[in-house]
Amino acid sequence: MRIAIVESGGKQYRAVEGSTIDVDRLAYEVGKKFDFERVLLMADEDIVMVGTPTVGEIIVSATVVDHVKGPKVTSFKYRPKKRIRVKGGHRHFYTRLMINFIGKPGEERKVEVKQEAPAKVETVEVVEEPKVEKPKKASKSSTPKKTDKK
């Protein structure tokens, strides 16, 4: 499993082959492939390459999977005794990237894609109990009521 630290939008991200990362919104269409310009570190099990400041011979290629919105962030400003209450917030836009390849250009490697194991589904037999009919009680409405008139 190869791991790389890449820089995008002034932030550093940990990229793992076959997984996805969310970076700040990029101006690429969904399905477009591109390479990261700045690779700061590359690690392959026991081999580690650290850049000064970047590793020149390593590329990290990614595919744009989707453009998503992040969680809602609420800001609230409050000044006591002055009746000042300001509520605001926003949702940040992210681009979800699938990391396809980490390595030297022209190198042939098979990328291991992480797949979740399907959950085991156990079948349970449902045994229906026989229905027992309860005896009906005689209703009071069938017998005439006795009323005394004075």
pLDDT at position 30: 95
Instruction: Give the amino acid at 83.
Output: R
Rounded CA separation 45/17 (Å)? 13
42 close to 4: Cβ distance less than 8 angstroms? yes
| Sign, Cα dihedral of 64, 68, 71, 73 | positive
pLDDT at position 114: 55
pLDDT at position 145: 64
pLDDT at position 73: 96
| Structure-token match 């820089």, residue found | 7
In order, the DSSP letters of 45-102 are: TTEEEE-SS--TT-EEEEEEEEEEEEEEEEEEEEETTTTEEEEEEEEEEEEEEEEEEE
* Full-model pTM: 0.65
Helix (H, G, I), strand (E, B) or coil at 142: helix
Measure CA 96 to chain center: 10
98 close to 20: Cβ distance less than 8 angstroms? yes
Q: What is the pLDDT along the chain (150 residues), one digit of tens a residue?
A: 889 999 999 999 999 999 999 999 999 999 999 999 899 999 988 889 898 889 988 999 999 999 999 999 999 999 999 999 999 999 999 999 999 999 888 877 665 555 555 666 666 676 777 777 777 766 556 566 667 776
Instruction: Give the amino acid at 121.
Output: V
- Which of 82, 81, 62, 75 shows the shortest CA–CA distance to 17? 62
